[in-house]
Amino acid sequence: MNELAGKHIVLGLSGGVACYKAADLCRQLIKEGATVQVVMTEAAGQFITPVTMQALSGRPVYGSQWDAREPNNMPHINLSRDADAIVIAPCSADFVARLAQGRADELLSLLCLARPAASVPLLLAPAMNREMWSHPATQRNLQQVARDGALVLGVGHGDQACGETGDGRMLEPHELLDELVASLTPKVLAGHTVLVTAGPTFEAIDPVRGITNLSSGKMGFALARAAREAGADVTLVAGPVHLETPRGVRRVDVRSAVEMAEAVHALVADATIFVATAAVADWRPASPSTQKIKKDGSGNTPALAFVENPDILAAVAQSPRAQAGELLCVGFAAESHDLIAHATAKRQRKGVPLLVGNIGPATFGQDDNALVLVDANGHRELPRAPKRVLARQLIEDIAARCR
Ligand code: CTP
């Protein structure tokens, strides 16, 4: 999936060891379909050569405001007008200070100053030693550039090139890519607080065994990511899955349906949208053993009694805020057959305005899926596509219902 198809990105490098990661970032941007124009400060050239960046981007690198290649001799204007976004990675402490002062004595800070601020986002990926990062001057400058409209990305924590350990590592290229994609996504859910459940639940039989299902959590994680990209504040309540938390999403890990219900009830008061993608176990063993159940050699099997789990979605949908229209509830249905009929009946049974149906065996664990959206007016199909694409389409549909 080409996340950046048709986008033109100015990738600016200032001086820092993390320039080696900028080479990988450049490759990833191009792999996602972007065209990339690299601009380097003189200091960046001490860490990586323009030859490398030209080879990776397929374009000559710019480094001087006096570059005569531009017919009008105004590279700062032309480069910033052509861009869909400007990403400074690495952004050194010195470069932040230059931006904070509005300096314009070399090409990269000059083109940042000249960028059309309303239409071209400026993303800064700081990279520096931990003492430089935590210095009040740096923090003051970062606050200033953020107030001036730049999007200041976070930093990583860990081993630093200088041998020290702490905050100040540049984010990894795939994290920067996610931030860039998010910055270019229309903010159709700005101001909304979204709560998503995802994954299976695990219902213990004894300390080492339990009952679960084949839900991978991928659809719920993709939805959480799409909601965050669309500008929402997002919390993801996740059953036991090994998926990376989408950037900028708060995650609460749970195991059983009862734990998931408790987490949701504690969080839902702040939400304006609740999306239940989790494949919650319908039943749990009535009295899980505190010790491992052993075979006794008789050939007899243990008798398991079950009790029904709380229906999280139905309970939230019945809450006063949902009934008053302050909280939009969206359910999912994983069926094996007669999808539209089952989804239509389930929507009414759960009391939700929108229910999203899919064929369970065809989606569990897959990276793509097909959905049918069922509401009071009928149904609409979203044809088979990567879950990431479907998640975006669903978020657009949900946003339209919130307007
Ligand atoms: N759900 C829930 N809590 C439960 C069971 C289901 O919140 N205890 C939610 C799911 O997250 C999903 C929707 O309800 O959004 C439908 O889940 P599904 O398992 O398909 O429906 P069930 O009510 O369990 O019906 P059945 O298994 O009989 O098809």
pLDDT tier, 156 (very low <50, low <70, confident <90, very high otherwise) = very high
> How many whole angstroms from 329 Cα to the centroid of ligand 1?
13
Instruction: Name the helix (H) or strand (E) containing 146.
Output: helix 136-147
Closest residue to atom 29 of ligand 1, CA basis: 335
Q: How much of the chain, in percent, has pLDDT values that exceed 90?
A: 94
Residue-wise pLDDT for 190-218, tens only, equals 999 999 999 999 999 999 999 999 999 99
Residue-wise pLDDT for 299-347, tens only, equals 999 999 999 999 999 999 999 999 999 999 999 998 989 999 999 999 9
Q: Which domains, from first to last, does the chain contain?
A: 8-183 (3.40.50.1950), 193-402 (3.40.50.10300)
Residue-wise pLDDT for 79-107, tens only, equals 999 999 999 999 999 999 999 999 999 99
Is residue 32 within 8 Å of residue 2, measured between CB atoms?
yes
pLDDT tier, 169 (very low <50, low <70, confident <90, very high otherwise) = very high
Residues in contact with ligand 1 (CB, 6 Å cut-off) = 197, 257, 276, 278, 280, 282, 309, 311-313, 331-334, 346, 350
Give yes or no for residue 390 having a pLDDT over 80.
yes
Q: Which candidate in 19, 162, 329, 402 is catalytic?
A: 162
Q: Are strands 378-386 and 368-375 parallel, antiparallel or unpaired?
A: antiparallel
- Alpha helix positions (H), 306-376: 312-317, 320-323, 339-350, 360-363
> How many whole angstroms from 310 Cα to the centroid of ligand 1?
10
Give yes or no for residue 361 having a pLDDT over 90.
no
> How many whole angstroms from 188 Cα to the centroid of ligand 1?
28
Closest residue to atom 8 of ligand 1, CA basis: 311
Q: Which residue has better confidence, 135 or 363?
A: 135
- Burial class from Cβ neighbours inside 10 Å (0-12, 13-18, 19+) for residue 6 reads exposed
162 in active site: yes
Closest ligand 1 atom, CA of 333? 20
Is residue 116 within 8 Å of residue 149, measured between CB atoms?
no
**Residues in a beta bridge with 250:** 235
**Residues in a beta bridge with 90:** none
pLDDT tier, 363 (very low <50, low <70, confident <90, very high otherwise) = confident
